[in-house]
Amino acid sequence: MYRFAPRLLIRGIAGGSRRSAAPARPFSTDLPAAPTEDATFVEAWRKVAPNVDPPKTPLAFMKPRPSTPASIPTKLTVNFVLPYQSEIANKEVDMVIVPATTGQMGVLPGHVATIAELKPGVLSVHEGNDVTKYFVSSGFAFIHANSVTDIITVEAAPIDHIDPTLVQQGLADFTQKLNSATTDLEKAEAQIGVDVHSALNAALSG
Amino acid sequence: MASSGAAVPFWRAAGMTYISYSNICTSLVRSCLKEPHRSNAANREKVHFAISKWSNGKPESPTIRSDSATE
């Protein structure tokens, strides 16, 4: 079985490099911005009503995304939004560490474009010497090729808003529920409880 | 790209969708907050809506769902 390993590896590398040399789909930040006015509509309007300005469509009000710069930018632009509030909007920072399901991921300017699913954990935003930490319940982090990072979560709280006694109690409760769970669904819910409370615990002590 | 036989997260294997998973995580985090923040968070979880099913072109009596934290 392993006799074929070199052949398979070479095939993989050659195929991969051929594919990456000509990307099939460009990133959203590399596409040209959509035209803000529909040329045929504007022409037809001017023929019918030459003295009135053509109405603007919503597309005309939207600012196009900044395109991917040629050299790595010095700062990361972060947008951190919750359903009820915009926590950080277009802030230039040095680094953010997001709690991805694959582990704590540090995002620096020039990071490769990534979509990361987040697990309950600590999100830290580093600006010079200031670090702002939030505990986030799950969500997603989108890192674009132009070093704009969008982080969306349902709930986020600064670490000092968390009550340690409630966390310990919850952890004990859910560990006990996990041991006594019968159906798959109960086990899954208890496991989620244990995961979330252990993450809260780690956030409080870390 | 992960093949179709890739391991799914435990909650999906148990029949839960991502949204339910995320909402459960969120309500657990909210229940661990300190007091003034906890009541603010509970306000965010309030839902109020009325559902009525239609049959034969007429609405049946609506069920109103109005509560604080949805479990």
Lowest-confidence region among A23-37, A73-87, A142-156, B3-17: A23-37
Which pTM does this prediction carry? 0.72
If pLDDT is split at 50, 70 and 90, which confidence band does A4 have? low
How large is the average pLDDT for residues A68-93? 88
Give the pLDDT band of residue A155 (cuts 50, 70, 90): very high
Whole-number Å distance between alpha carbons of A175 and A201: 14
In chain B, what are the domain boundaries? 10-68
B42 touches chain A (CB under 8 A): no
**Residue-level pLDDT at B1:** 45
pLDDT-wise least confident of A30-44, A139-153, A165-179:
A30-44
Question: What is the C-alpha R_g of chain B?
Answer: 18
Range of lowest pLDDT (A148-157, A177-186, B57-66): B57-66
**Predicted local distance difference test score (pLDDT) of residue A5:** 65
Subunit contact A189:B41, Cβ cutoff 8 A: no
Measure the CA–CA gap between B31 and B37, rounded to whole angstroms: 10
pLDDT at residue A174, rounded to an integer:
92
pLDDT at site A9: 67
Residue A147 in this model has a pLDDT that exceeds 90: no
Supply the pLDDT for residue A21.
46
SS3 of A20-64? HHCCCCCCCCCCCCCCCCCHHHHHHHHHHCCCCCCCCCHHHHCCC
Q: What is the DSSP letter of A3?
A: G
Selected residues 2-31 of chain B with any CB under 8 Å from a CB in chain A: 9-11, 13-16, 21-26, 28-31
A137:B31 CB<8 A: no
Pick from B16, B29, B44: which is nearest to A137 by CB?
B29
Interface contact B65, partner A, CB < 8 A? no
Q: Which residue has 């460009």 as its token pair?
A: A26
Q: What is the DSSP string of A165-177?
A: HHHHHHHHHHHHH
* Phi, psi (degrees; rounded to nearest 5) at A156: -140, 140
Percent of chain B scored above 90 by pLDDT? 14
| Signed CA dihedral, A26, A29, A30, A34: sign only | positive
pLDDT class of B4 with cuts at 50, 70, 90 = low
Residue with tokens 């839902």: B47
The reply to whether A172 touches chain B by the CB within 8 Å rule is no
Task: Tell me the HSE value of A175 on the side-chain side, using a 13 A CA sphere.
Answer: 8
Q: Cα–Cα distance between A157 and B37 in angstroms, integer?
A: 9
pLDDT at A152 (0 to 100): 94
* Residue A52 buriedness (CB in 10 A; 0-12 / 13-18 / 19+): exposed
Q: Which two tokens stand for residue A16?
A: 């991969």
Q: Chain A residues with CB inside 8 Å of B34's CB?
A: 161-163
